Amino acid sequence: MAQVLEFKLPDLGEGLTEAEIVRWLVQVGDVVAVDQPVVEVETAKAMVEVPCPYGGVVTARFGEEGTELPVGAPLLTVAVGASASGDTAEEGSGNVLVGYGTGAPAARRRRVRPEAPVRAAEPAGATAGTARPAAARTAPALAAPERPDGPVPVISPLVRRLARDNGLDLRTLHGSGPEGLILRADVERALREAPQGTAPAVGVPAPHASSVTAPQAALPAPVASPPADGLGTRIPLRGVRGAVADKLSRSRREIPDATCWVDADATELMEARRAMNASGGPKISLLALLARICTAALARFPELNSTVDTDAREVVRLDRVDLGFAAQTDRGLVVPVVRDAHSRNAESLSAEFARLTEAARTGRLTPGQLTGGTFTLNNYGVFGVDGSTPIINHPEAAMLGVGRIVPKPWVHEGGLAVRQVVQLSLTFDHRVCDGGTAGGFLRYVADCVEQPAVLLRTL
């Protein structure tokens, strides 16, 4: 006798209390294995897959794509104890860890994902009566449609979502990434090259082929809606934008911040980077050199690598530098964290920045990779601006901002010359230090930018 178990949205950790359903990975009637991902959700920090701790037949799903659910709300129900073919179904693993599987033995895990455009979700509260015929349920769950050369090679949820929203079948593409991996650029190129009228405009979902034979659930309503008074447009603050709003508002409420800035001649730093990259080996990024300068400066001015315990009325100086860096993505601004940045050299920092930036761009950052920073480096120069007054990433004590590096007239060795100039700004918590310490930190950073050899004293 099969037993129907309810799987609820698990506690996502990191203070997250809700998540939005991005894409269902299973249909009612599918056979699922223990720890198989069943739904892709977007939290305020990351896009993650939620694995189901039970093995059996999906009998109901709750919530359509685009619906936001609180932690503890039902996600789906699974009939365990007997499969559709009469065989014994798998037991539950009893534990759920979002984005990492549920801790079941490796031999019982299966991570197979569909890559064809997904069908619309069943209405909330769908039951086993709406399941597909039993013959369809006997097939393994989530088998990816095959191309002539195998399954669709795509791993990015953002790439899949872009293709789905524009009615593009990923099975028709050949990726330009490693081993034929389909990248966002491949999807965008296919949309640009599509004959007029064969692909919908970006952002307008196309009807799926299954819509002619099966009823479709309504697509999520647009996030923006006209207000009752007819003035402007109301856009809900949720997801990443809501989390950013909450955090920055708290920073402004709690932290008495101040900002100081200085212009620096970055010509020598740029030349040093060119020389390093010309010598062979892995390329060193400018961000990595700036990060290396930051960690050296924090070793001299540890007050800025701290946090304030307001309840105990204490400043807590931290003994390690977990360096956050601002990264702009399609989902908004995120701040991935490089762990133990103080113990890394420029090469290691370059590799870690590249890894985390790619994960941010493809929506694969986990909540743990977006929290726990002790100091933030914000390179807003990539947006073509010279200066800014950054808002501190609460509960940190400071943030270094770096503007664009551009040729400017500069007095160099007693004469006027065109040099590569950058503006550096430091926003700091005035509770942890005074202007002398903040100015000393910023001046040391500027000295290292102007004369990279200064860093040799700390190596």
Enumerate the active-site residues.
Answer: 430, 434
Q: Which helix (H) or strand (E) holds 325?
A: strand 323-325
Give backbone dihedrals phi and psi of 296, rounded to 5 degrees, phi first.
Answer: -65, -40
Cα–Cα distance measured from residue 354 to residue 376, given in angstroms and rounded to the nearest whole number: 17
Contact by Cβ (8 Å): 77, 3: no
Instruction: Answer for the pair 69, 63: CB distance below 8 angstroms, yes or no.
Output: yes
Q: How far is the C-alpha of 273 from the C-alpha of 269, rounded, in Å?
A: 6
Report the first-to-last Cα separation within the chain, whole angstroms: 68
80/3 Cα distance (integer angstroms)? 5
Q: Are 49 and 101 in contact (CB under 8 A)?
A: no
Both structure tokens of 333: 């601004």
431: part of which helix (H) or strand (E)?
none
Find tokens 């709690």 and name the residue.
254
Nearest of 226, 247, 196, 181 to residue 15 by alpha carbon: 247
Contacts with 65 (C-beta within 8 Å, 6 or more apart), sequence order: 21, 22, 23, 24, 120, 121, 219, 220
Could you give the CA distance from residue 3 to residue 196 in angstroms, rounded to a whole number?
A: 52
- Which residues partner with 37 through β-bridges? 51
84: exposed, middle or buried (C-beta count within 10 Å: 0-12, 13-18, 19+)? buried
